[in-house]
């Protein structure tokens, strides 16, 4: 089993991918597969008579799928397919099949040093440009030849999870991290070496792609939830640690393991686990208690479905929670599973259908005078606030992607005013409250989603380390936001630079 490997394309869990232009897709694929020149076909079902879509969805996960479910193992077949792809004008597909043929030849003849490395790069090139079905097709061939390629298992798990094949995705993910726990991205001598603590089995990690760019950072991803204590002493050299397990509910079962790591770590740790642990939703009100002009709706953690309606009613009463109630499963984000329950009957039915921990909170109607709901996001870097976005929606569950921000210029203009000068847009009273929240939150990287109530108070929806900050497409409608994202990235870089390299 390998503890450490270097691979440019590996991913841990949650993948924050964004659509790219054809030129960007070609550039990204060129980076990972240098000989490929053109964009892959749009219709994966036409990619091969052994359709990638079928290969991903029908595979058994054993690595020994039949020819009907995976790429053919006959090199001559791939050469024929290469000719067909080239005739169709798909040079990328042609070269991919030629690489497959060469790899199969090498394994068939027992060539010394035969490797799936180039074929895995083909798969990863497609994976990184969003062509996941084709990537899955090639990853399956990689694993047929060498079942111990952790990156192939890892990224195939992501493909399967994205198509709803949860059980098979879990099997491949477990297989990946039994093989390998450390993934090194970047080897530049001048790069800062950052050890990133990650939870491999879930999506509770901080989105760090923008914060730790590969141009300046060597990212050493450590799936600590799969690693034994003694593996902490076998890690590559690093300058500092970023604890990316930002969801306190995900981190809770790992508390002992994380504490052991921190107690034996000689380098600075950003977002120490003890600070993250204080950000569970039901602790937010007490965390910010006493801060002027800050409100948090009452929230309670429900570890198991109450045994009766009376028990559920008593749980709410003790926490001071009134109807309507917002109910959500723990360790979820982006509104996943979030439900507005208007009565005890509907809440009881919702809770009875849940498995595991849930959160129940009072719903506050926070509509502005114009009838729209506004949700602001501020990112804190080293306790300093930076505006990130404003979403304006006619619905109480506000998400940027569903609020039609890009199609309504007045919304984008209001957001731009907030991003450009939040002190003017929100007022000094509100910004004073937000600054106080950042100090009390006490994270090296974190954020809050909030609204401003008519009386000028800040109503906090959530405050934690998992807040996403990412760049938008340079040619997209939201490209104007990138300078503000850059401010966040620059602040994070300044914070890291205060910790000198070893």
Residues 59 and 130 in one domain: yes
Res. 1: pLDDT tops 70: no
| Residue 336 within a domain | yes
Question: Do residues 153 and 172 lie in contact, with contact meaning Cβ atoms separated by under 8 Å?
Answer: yes
Across the range 486-501, mean pLDDT stands at 91
pLDDT at res. 215: 85
CATH code of residue 312 = 3.30.1490.20
Across the range 220-246, mean pLDDT stands at 95
Per-residue confidence band for 39, with pLDDT thresholds at 50, 70 and 90: very low
Res. 8: pLDDT tops 50: no
Picking from 362, 388, 408, the residue at the C-terminal end of a domain is: 362
Per-residue confidence band for 53, with pLDDT thresholds at 50, 70 and 90: very low
308 versus 411: the higher-pLDDT residue is: 411
Phi, psi at 399, each rounded to 5°: -135, 145
Q: Number of folded domains in the chain?
A: 4
User: Could you list the residue range(s) of the whole structural domain that residue 416 is in?
Assistant: 373-497
Residues 388 and 253 in one domain: no
Residues 21 and 144 in one domain: yes
Across the range 248-252, mean pLDDT stands at 94
Residues 451 and 309 in one domain: no
Across the range 182-204, mean pLDDT stands at 83
| Residue 189 within a domain | yes
Res. 25: pLDDT tops 70: no
Average pLDDT taken over every residue of the chain: 85
| Residue 289 within a domain | no
Question: Do residues 325 and 341 lie in contact, with contact meaning Cβ atoms separated by under 8 Å?
Answer: yes
| Residue 283 within a domain | no
| Residue 327 within a domain | yes
Predicted TM-score (pTM) of the model is 0.79
The number of angstroms, rounded, from the C-alpha of 138 to the middle of its chain's C-alpha atoms is: 23
Picking from 275, 309, 339, the residue at the C-terminal end of a domain is: 275
Strands 299-302 and 358-362: antiparallel
CATH code of residue 58 = 1.25.40
Residues 230 and 350 in one domain: no
Picking from 275, 306, 328, the residue at the C-terminal end of a domain is: 275
Res. 439: pLDDT tops 80: yes
Residues 174 and 71 in one domain: yes
User: Using alpha carbons only, how large is the chain's radius of gyration in Å?
Assistant: 25
| Residue 284 within a domain | no
pLDDT at res. 307: 77
Residues 385 and 339 in one domain: no
| Residue 407 within a domain | yes
343 versus 10: the higher-pLDDT residue is: 343
| Residue 116 within a domain | yes
Residues 45 and 78 in one domain: yes
Res. 123: pLDDT tops 70: yes
Q: What does each C-alpha distance from 251 to 279, 360, 370 come to in angstroms?
A: 11, 20, 40
Residues 106 and 227 in one domain: no
Rounded CA separation 393/471 (Å): 22
Per-residue confidence band for 256, with pLDDT thresholds at 50, 70 and 90: very high
């Amino acid at each position: 089993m390998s503890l450490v490997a270097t691979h440019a394309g590996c991913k841990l869990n949650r993948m924050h991918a964004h659509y790219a232009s054809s030129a960007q897709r070609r550039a990204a694929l060129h980076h990972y597969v240098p000989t490929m020149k053109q964009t892959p076909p749009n219709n994966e079902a036409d990619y091969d008579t052994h359709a990638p879509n079928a290969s991903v969805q029908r595979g058994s996960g054993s690595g020994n799928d039949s020819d009907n479910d995976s790429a053919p193992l006959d090199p001559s077949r791939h050469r024929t397919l290469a000719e067909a792809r080239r005739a169709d004008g798909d040079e990328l597909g042609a070269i991919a099949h030629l690489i497959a043929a060469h790899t199969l030849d090498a394994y068939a003849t027992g060539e010394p040093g035969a490797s799936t490395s180039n074929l895995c790069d083909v798969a990863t090139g497609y994976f990184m440009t969003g062509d996941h079905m084709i990537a899955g097709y090639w990853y399956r061939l990689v694993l047929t030849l060498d079942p111990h390629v952790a990156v192939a298992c890892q990224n195939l798990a992501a493909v399967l999870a994205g198509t709803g094949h949860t059980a098979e995705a879990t099997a491949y993910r477990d297989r990946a991290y039994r093989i390998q726990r450390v993934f090194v991205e970047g080897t530049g001598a001048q790069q800062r070496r950052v050890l990133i603590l990650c939870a491999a089995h879930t999506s509770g990690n901080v989105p760090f792609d923008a914060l730790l760019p590969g141009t300046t950072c060597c990212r050493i991803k450590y799936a600590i939830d799969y690693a034994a204590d003694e593996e902490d002493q076998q890690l590559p050299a690093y300058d500092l640690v970023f604890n990316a397990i930002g969801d306190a509910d995900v981190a809770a079962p790992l508390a002992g393991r994380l504490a052991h790591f921190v107690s034996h770590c000689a380098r600075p740790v950003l977002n120490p686990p003890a600070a993250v642990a204080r950000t569970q939703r039901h602790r937010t009100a007490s965390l910010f208690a006493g801060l002027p002009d800050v409100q948090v709706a009452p929230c309670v953690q429900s570890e198991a479905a109450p045994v009766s309606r009376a028990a559920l009613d008593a749980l709410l009463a003790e926490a001071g929670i009134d109807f309507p109630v917002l109910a959500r499963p723990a360790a979820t984000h982006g509104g996943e599973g979030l439900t507005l329950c208007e009565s005890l009957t509907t809440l009881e039915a919702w809770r009875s259908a849940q498995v595991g921990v849930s959160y129940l909170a009072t719903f506050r109607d926070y509509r502005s005078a114009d009838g729209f709901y506004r949700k602001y996001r501020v990112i804190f870097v080293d306790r300093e606030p930076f505006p990130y976005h404003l979403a304006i929606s006619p619905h109480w569950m506000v998400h940027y992607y569903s609020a039609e921000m890009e199609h309504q210029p007045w919304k984008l203009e209001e957001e731009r005013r907030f991003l450009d000068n939040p002190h003017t847009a929100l007022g000094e009273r509100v910004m004073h409250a937000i600054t106080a929240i950042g100090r009390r939150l006490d994270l090296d990287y974190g954020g809050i989603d909030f609204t401003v109530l008519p009386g000028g108070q800040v109503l906090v929806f959530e405050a934690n380390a998992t807040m996403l900050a990412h760049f938008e497409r340079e040619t997209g409608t939201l490209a104007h936001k990138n300078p503000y994202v850059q401010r966040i990235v620059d602040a994070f870089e300044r914070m890291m630079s205060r910790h000198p390299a070893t």
